[in-house]
Structure 1
């Protein structure tokens, strides 16, 4: 049953100990508006506080995981205060996914673009369907990545490949992403949710104390600069929002 209610996200226990958090704007390819950004943070915070939840699946309804910023509903910040409020809201979701203690299995279907690609990378066990695709358009839009990606991505793929992904905005399929180390596993589209559920089931059956400790310690040792990276990302993204060139590029995207 669904025991947490949100406008743009579904959150339900799908079997004992396993919760599925689903982006639920399929008509917009689960593109990010402010409501979705806030709901993702709340859904993960609530799931982490829920004693019945021991593992979390993160996926998107319909044809895409998350197609990035919703161009139709984009509200460009008009001042630094508005920009900071928006960017901190985006970063809040990453804190709830990465720096909380429940393991997160990603079931990445269809497009994962920009902030959606960040959420996919935030997952502990990202499983990509074979038709899924991902890329970062931010630099071409005079913006910057968030989600701790400036720290996470070099750890996963190495600095040279991270530069390629972030500067050049190349588009990658699931097979490429697995070879690079971004995807943990790649499976056929029909197998995606079954594989995610069986993985989450294995995690939920492990002792919670050791699972929490393992996630905490791995992140603390492998991502030593994550919080600093997110602070720097925040300032760089705010500066991008305040540059008039960004508005022009967003309109043309």
Structure 2
């Protein structure tokens, strides 16, 4: 059986590649399960600081594999398990102590777009095309985007993107804040690597703590946010590495 996800380590970087190019890397159960396993391995490896998620062939990921959908939704229990498997990827990305970069090219659709939004940095190639098809099918979005995207782009734009489900280009992704940066397709992975190396230069604990605090801040009150900040700041002040860096600066 051909691997649906291929991962390799390069120093502090784990490259995790979706690998069903003949289906534009569409999501079936094998791909979702293998992606979860790759993220678990990266999380457990202390040498890894950054994960770069990208796609083989002509697309990042074209969303649910509709040819495989009947098998995943054959019963209520099967459907529940499928949706929970997809949602688990969101939890893995957002709760990870690693920084996760999405390097997106070609089609990025539905659940794959939601996974990209879950990532800490999103680099879009200039040939990226993206949309939310779920509501047009009478389905629903995943990845926590009803909260995450609404807080990023505002309720009006979030409703436009999810309810109308229109197809958009890479420039629109930058305009609304879904993409962090737009780069030529030929330079996408090199730009992702440069960003990953820059992140890896920062102190491990401080980077992980700030990611956790920011992600939790989407949902927390001021008091909860300040509590997280206090805990992380105290930890930073007590870190020999942080103290040494501060004195050097």
The TM-score by the shorter chain falls in which range? 0.7 to 0.9
Aligned length: 219
Deviations 1:53-84 (A, max 9, x none): 11111100110000011122222523221111
The reply to whether residue 11 of structure 1 matches residue 7 of structure 2 is yes
Matches within 5 A, 1:45-124: 45-74=40-69, 75-124=71-120
Choose 1 or 2 for highest CA Rg: 2
The reply to whether residue 206 of structure 1 matches residue 202 of structure 2 is yes
TM-score normalized by the length of structure 2: 0.85
Higher RCO (C-alpha under 8 Å, 6+ residues apart): 1
In the alignment, structure 2 segments of 5+ residues that lack a partner are 222-249
Among 24, 34, 38, the alignment partner of 1:43 is: 38
Deviations 1:132-158 (A, max 9, x none): 011011011111011111111112211
The reply to whether residue 23 of structure 1 matches residue 18 of structure 2 is yes
Superposed displacement of residue 34, structure 1: 0.7
Paired residue for 2:159?
A: 163
CA distance in structure 2 between the aligned counterparts of 1:78 and 1:143, rounded to whole angstroms = 16
Shift of the 213–220 alpha-carbon distance from structure 1 to 2, 3 Å rule, reads: same
In the alignment, structure 1 segments of 5+ residues that lack a partner are 1-5, 226-253
TM-score normalized by the length of structure 1: 0.83
CA contact (8 A) 2:50 2:196 kept: yes
Equivalent residue of 1:56, what SS? strand
Greater than 4 Å deviation, 4+ residue runs? none
CA distance in structure 2 between the aligned counterparts of 1:223 and 1:40, rounded to whole angstroms = 26
RMSD value, Cα: 1.4
